[in-house]
Amino acid sequence: MADLLTHVLVAYTLGIVLSWKYRWIKSHHVTMMMVGAAIPDLVRIRLLIPSHAIEDLLGIPFSWDPIHTLGGSILIVLILTMLFKEDANSEGSKRLFLVLFAGMVSHLFLDALLITASGHTYAIFWPLTDYRPVISGVYLSTDVLPAVISFIAAASVRLIDR
């Protein structure tokens, strides 16, 4: 996982750039795109409650990892879409779904570019397939450069947007 700052900065940039083409994208939609970009990192709940602790407690297999896959993230996007209400009509919900989804996809895409020891990335398309594609990564989760580049991009689009 790249650091969360990089993910939300990329979503912020993406949201503002898309708002130039799609006029319905307002500030709160950009925020929701940033929320979407944070969804796969909810998998870090395992730092507080490790998967094996739940396995030991319940006696059944358990893993938080689906949160960081396409299938699990889409479910969380759907859950959040229902927990946020922009207006009385369904158009608002559709828009919230779209921005959450776009942010989430940007996160999964960026994390597929991470360098791994085996050369295989994570099971990005699970549950459609548990194959982990071979991708020659370009950066580490602990690198500083991705955050610096995304900060410059975010600051630039904000200036242009003003």
Partner 1 sequence: MFKNASLKKISLIIFILVLLIFFIWYGSIEPDPEKGHYPGEEEILQDYGEHVGRKVEVGGRVIEEEPLKIEIEYGSEKIELQVVGEKEEANENDRITVYGTLHENNTIVAENVVVRGYWRYIYMYTVSVGAAVWVGVRLFKSWRWDSDSFSFQKRDEDLELKDMIRKNDRGGKGHG
Cross-strand pairs, 114: 139
Q: Which residues of the chain form contacts with partner 1 (CB under 8 A)?
A: 3-5, 7-9, 27-28, 31, 34-35, 38, 41, 50-53, 55-56, 60-66, 69, 71-72, 75-76, 78-79, 81-87, 90, 92-94, 97, 115-121, 123, 126-127, 129-134, 140-144, 147
Cross-strand pairs, 134: 120
Instruction: Give the shortest CB-99-to-partner 1 separation in angstroms.
Output: 12
**Cα→Cα distances 53→40, 41, 43, 160, Å:** 21, 19, 15, 49
Residue placing its CB nearer to partner 1 in the complex, 29 or 105: 29
Instruction: Give the shortest CB-108-to-partner 1 separation in angstroms.
Output: 15
CA 140 to chain centre: 17
Residue placing its CB nearer to partner 1 in the complex, 123 or 157: 123
CA 85 to chain centre: 21
Residue placing its CB nearer to partner 1 in the complex, 31 or 113: 31
**How many other CB atoms are there within 10 angstroms of residue 92's CB atom?**
16
The secondary structure of residue 132, as a DSSP letter, is -
Residue placing its CB nearer to partner 1 in the complex, 7 or 110: 7
Instruction: Give the shortest CB-50-to-partner 1 separation in angstroms.
Output: 7
Instruction: Give the shortest CB-17-to-partner 1 separation in angstroms.
Output: 17
**Cα→Cα distances 162→22, 79, 135, 158, Å:** 16, 33, 38, 6
